[in-house]
Structure 1
Amino acid sequence: MKIQFLNLWYCRAALFFLSALACVACSDDDGPAATPETEVNYAVSTVSGAWPDLTTYIQGLENLDLSSVDNSNAIELTGSASTVAYGKSLFATPFGAPANLVKYVFNNEGLPEEEERIVVPGANTFSTLHFESETVAYGTVSGGISKLIIFNPTTMRIEDEIPLSAVIDKVPEATRTYYLDMLERDNKLFMGVHYENNFVPVNDSAYVAVIDLATHQVEKVIADGRTGMVFGGQSPNSGMVKTSNGDIYVQALGTTNAGGSSPSGVLRINNGETTFDQDYFFNLEDATGNICFGIYHTSAGQSFTARVEDESDFWEYATGQPQFKYYKINLDGETSEGAVQGLPVTYGSRRMIIHEESAQSLLFSIATNDENAVYRYDLSSDNATKLFTSSGGYITGLEKLD
């Protein structure tokens, strides 16, 4: 009896154990627990390699509270590409024919995925993008065919095109025409233009094309000889800004470093006007002491540019050293407020980015021979500290996804 009782107990225990395993197995059949979705709030682009063998890496970040970033969660784009964010999407313009505009969205794991692309045969590259709304955006293409593309950024379909032959015809002796920053105001698109002849500015003037969006025609190209070479900075839309009162300020590099006589400066197109204000000219070379490249304006009204330290090595290949220092400027007072404290001299040729993080802080990209980093600049204390470094190359894109 005792043996039978023990056998019965062991059988029941075994049956209970097997039942428990079966329950666990049934639970496992339901699949693993769902992975929490990653919320991507920032997009970062980096470039590594040596010309011409460059690779662009794109990735999403939940926040910027990190000490370093690599390319382990990035996708690769062959060659060099610029990036611009609109909404929750990132738009990339890889360099090389045919012209491509690629739209990326971020999946639940925070990884970028290509959603759609626009290809323009006959053009070498997209130059600059301007987003008006979720359904209307503008992009210039150049090299071969030159035109302004009107497209829907949601569907990534071309809706219309505006020929830019009138812009080219303005300076027929130019062998190259560059289409630069774009701003919209009063149903007109203002677009910076630069003309070259064998890599040399054709003259000492600065040019802006005025495009009527109601008729889809180039209305005119305005010029001013007080400065020249509207070439923007190393970041998208960094050569033309619009202030809260509707005035447009255009920054030009000047031609003193290219055999000309016009200094670096800032021109103004007053609100409601389509011509340069002849009563305003901000001579940046006089104010800062040297050639300046690019302009950025915050929602709180502060303005910034980048000054070259040694103009004889503007393109940064003679000395092998970075040459640009970020400066704070006063557009209304036409004065310099000095270098931004806490920021090292950076390579302009490796992209200079200024991004408004909040009402109290800005983000600056820095590229030196020792580090590639992003610095946070506190407006109240007027000082910058290092935020994070990149081990995956120099930073060419830093965008907030709204």
Structure 2
Amino acid sequence: MKKSSKLILFSALVAFTTFSCSSDSDKPGNETGGGVDTGKTKYIITATTGAAGIADYLLTADDISKGSITTTGNGIEQDGSYRYYITAQNNFFSLLYGQGNPGAVTTYNLNAEGKLIKKSNFQAETVHVFAAVNKDILTIKVPRSGAASIAQMYKIDAEKSLITGEAQQDTKKLAGNGERAFFTWATQVGEKVYMPYMSIKGDGVDNFGTKNPDSTWVAVYTYPELKLEKVIKDNRTSYLGGYYTNGLYQDENGDAYGFSGAVATSNSVVTSTKPSAVVKIKKGTTEFDKTYFFNVQEKSGGYKIASSTYISKGKVLLQMFGTVGTNKGAAKLAIADLYNQTFTWVTNAPQVITFTTVERYNLVSEDGSSAIVGINTPEGNWIYTINGTTAVATKGIKVEGGQITAIAKLKY
């Protein structure tokens, strides 16, 4: 373990001890933050005011189907300009993007009365990937340019909020084509972790450009060892997901589906010649299924996938780029059926959308029928429930005083 990593781990231990000794999480029956499970839940809505030097406010609500909530005189203010979120082991993690420097990772949970409280706080490297794996959160810091080419992977115990291990990956060696690999996300598939990546120049001039726009890669790692087993390759579409955007999901059958926008660029111009599509990796295999290819661009009338979120039973909510054939334009929402390869535009959603939480900060309804997302518009910001079968959006709670950036749910 490197000296810097030891310091990070030591900081984490000190910070966790400091906070847990003075918080409600130390009380009997509340060791993992949820207390005695009462069967109750509360929604966590994050909203940003857009003010300089201010990140998000954490708001809580019992019901998101109606009413309104505001950031004015309400919620827990986050420090720093950029925050990212993940929920694991009934804890809510707020990660500060430190602009390349280490940033705070703050853990929250609900006490027995349903109040959101701070459980711990520690420093960790600013990362580009963060995903729940088993009872951990796997985070990855990925270099994008310069001499540095080693991606740092960290395992955080999601119950104890402690960094428990790390691994490294040489991204130039992984790409093996004169460029470097840039992980877009990480997904647990069975007992392994699948990490799709982009091939990027990383030359300091056109960092995210590539000379390889029409290929797909998924690196397969053992877990918890994080040892590289192989790279799954294909050339029917482009890379999966995107910068800070998940593009690989496992369904209830154990199969994995990858989503490509086919928007690889060179000097900021889209150079992908393949269609935006969905590919499949069958359960128990580490190869793309050559018999499966869902051409979403064709089914949608020429639009490309911007981001996605899996609902259940093969239904997926897609956010599409609003301008045909490009990576530009106001967002448009659609439902895709992965099993029947059908595409349906969402109805009853706002006509003009400025930002949504589809990229990574959504929920699925208790019955698995719908996606619950934040949708921001020039007229206001609401939580919507979008049915995966009917593709109909239903407006819920309005969030005032800030743009919705994430939605989560915890038990107490």
Q: Which amino acid aligns with 2:259?
A: Q
Q: Write out the 4+ residue segments of structure 1 that deviate beyond 6 Å after TM superposition.
A: none
Shift of residue 179 of structure 1? Answer: 2.2
* Residues 1:193 and 1:382: Cα distance change in structure 2 (over 3 Å): closer
Residue 290 (structure 2) aligned to one of 270, 278, 297: 278
Q: Which amino acid aligns with 1:368?
A: T
* Residues 1:99 and 1:391: Cα distance change in structure 2 (over 3 Å): same
Shift of residue 88 of structure 1? Answer: 2.9
Is the aligned partner of 1:174 residue 2:179? Answer: yes
> Aligned equivalents of 1:191 and 1:169: distance in 2?
12
Secondary structure, aligned partner of 2:287: coil
Shift of residue 118 of structure 1? Answer: 4.2
> Aligned equivalents of 1:73 and 1:110: distance in 2?
14
> Aligned equivalents of 2:385 and 2:278: distance in 1?
26
Q: What's the counterpart of residue 70 of structure 2?
A: 70
Q: Structure with the greater relative contact order (CA < 8 A, sep ≥ 6): 1 or 2?
A: 2
Identity %: 20
* Residues 1:309 and 1:171: Cα distance change in structure 2 (over 3 Å): same
Unmatched 5+ stretches in structure 2: 1-37
> Aligned equivalents of 1:171 and 1:213: distance in 2?
23
Q: What's the counterpart of residue 331 of structure 2?
A: 324
Aligned residue pairs: how many?
Answer: 350
Normalised TM-score (structure 2):
0.76
Contact 1:88–1:105 under 8 Å retained in 2: yes
Is the aligned partner of 1:264 residue 2:270? Answer: no
* Residues 1:168 and 1:108: Cα distance change in structure 2 (over 3 Å): farther
Q: What is the root-mean-square deviation of aligned Cα atoms in Å?
A: 2.9
Contact 1:264–1:285 under 8 Å retained in 2: yes
* Residues 1:167 and 1:280: Cα distance change in structure 2 (over 3 Å): farther
Shift of residue 383 of structure 1? Answer: 2.4
> Aligned equivalents of 1:108 and 1:350: distance in 2?
32
Q: Which amino acid aligns with 1:156?
A: S
Secondary structure, aligned partner of 2:299: helix
Which deviates more from structure 2 when the two are superposed, residues 105-114 or residues 56-65? 105-114
> Aligned equivalents of 1:304 and 1:378: distance in 2?
9
Q: What's the counterpart of residue 56 of structure 2?
A: 56
Matches within 5 A, 1:146-161: 146-161=151-166
Shift of residue 149 of structure 1? Answer: 1.1
Which deviates more from structure 2 when the two are superposed, residues 215-224 or residues 147-156? 215-224
Normalised TM-score (structure 1):
0.77
* Residues 1:85 and 1:276: Cα distance change in structure 2 (over 3 Å): same
Secondary structure, aligned partner of 1:309: coil
* Residues 1:361 and 1:275: Cα distance change in structure 2 (over 3 Å): closer
Shift of residue 285 of structure 1? Answer: 0.6
Unmatched 5+ stretches in structure 1: 1-36, 317-322
Give the number of the structure whose alpha-carbon radius of gyration is greater. Answer: 1
Q: What's the counterpart of residue 137 of structure 1?
A: 137
> Aligned equivalents of 1:309 and 1:274: distance in 2?
34
> Aligned equivalents of 2:389 and 2:222: distance in 1?
41
Shift of residue 172 of structure 1? Answer: 5.4
> Aligned equivalents of 2:194 and 2:222: distance in 1?
9
Matches within 5 A, 1:1-400: 41-49=42-50, 53=53, 55-71=55-71, 72-96=74-98, 97-107=101-111, 111-120=115-124, 123-133=125-135, 136-143=136-143, 146-165=151-170, 169-171=174-176, 173-174=178-179, 177-197=181-201, 198=206, 199-203=208-212, 204-213=214-223, 215-232=225-242, 238-255=246-263, 258-289=270-301, 290-311=303-324, 314-315=327-328, 323-336=330-343, 338-345=344-351, 347=353, 351-352=357-358, 354-359=362-367, 360-378=369-387, 382-400=391-409
